[in-house]
A and B are shown apart, each in its own frame.
Chain A
């Protein structure tokens, strides 16, 4: 158990809909990362928050947004869903050591499997 929780585990929805994925980081971790894993694109970094502020953005579509709340949990919002958004979405956390984030171990949650029909 990594200490990172993600809900829901599975999500099935229709094209055009909007969903929210939730992540609770490990206790003490200030940084939350979102990644997308799909068969054709592999594992891709989407976005990072650190202590409530956006820190880095990757290949995240404009239809997607995220936020980190004062209790440090994070939500990833996906809207106007398309078939191609079907993927496994992982949340990871790090940053409790106080050192450089680039050397920190990231702890991954079990993922949310999104299926868009």
Chain B
């Protein structure tokens, strides 16, 4: 079945450091891929998405490229800020499941950025 695997956390970085959070997936079709972020005490909000191979999603300095050959969608940011501290979820929506849009999530990666 479909699945998403994220790197284990927590990830602790100093402000202005480079961030990479790895995400790989297994899917029957060609899924859409998403990164969602959850700040403490809040619901999830979309950070970025890519709906076909080689697409790059970007938002607020974060980027991720849909790599079909390596089934990956790694999240990167060149210079993190304390305000980026949150839990990051990689997710997929697989067309093989019909036009439902249901999301399959990775386990989440906690990012802590220290001043």
Residues of A within 8 Å of B36, CB to CB, are 108
What's the A-B contact tally at a CB cutoff of 8 Å? 72
Q: Is A42 an interface residue (CB 8 A)?
A: yes
Beta-carbon contact of A111 and B43 below 8 Å = yes
Task: Determine the interface band of chain B, counting residues with CB < 8 A from chain A.
Answer: 20 to 34
Q: Is B42 an interface residue (CB 8 A)?
A: yes
Give which listed residue, A4, A44, A102, contacts B101 with CB less than 8 A.
A102
Residues of A within 8 Å of B42, CB to CB, are 110
Q: Is A12 an interface residue (CB 8 A)?
A: no
- Contacts A48-B100, A58-B102, A101-B101: A42 and B107 contacting too (C-beta < 8 A)? yes
Residue of B43, B94, B105 with most partner-chain A CB within 10 A:
B43
Residues of A within 8 Å of B44, CB to CB, are 90, 92, 108
Contact residues, B20-55 vs A (CB, 8 A): 31-32, 34, 36, 42-46, 49, 51
> Which A residues fall within an 8 A CB radius of B?
2, 4, 31, 33, 35, 42-45, 48, 55-56, 58, 90, 92, 94-95, 100-111
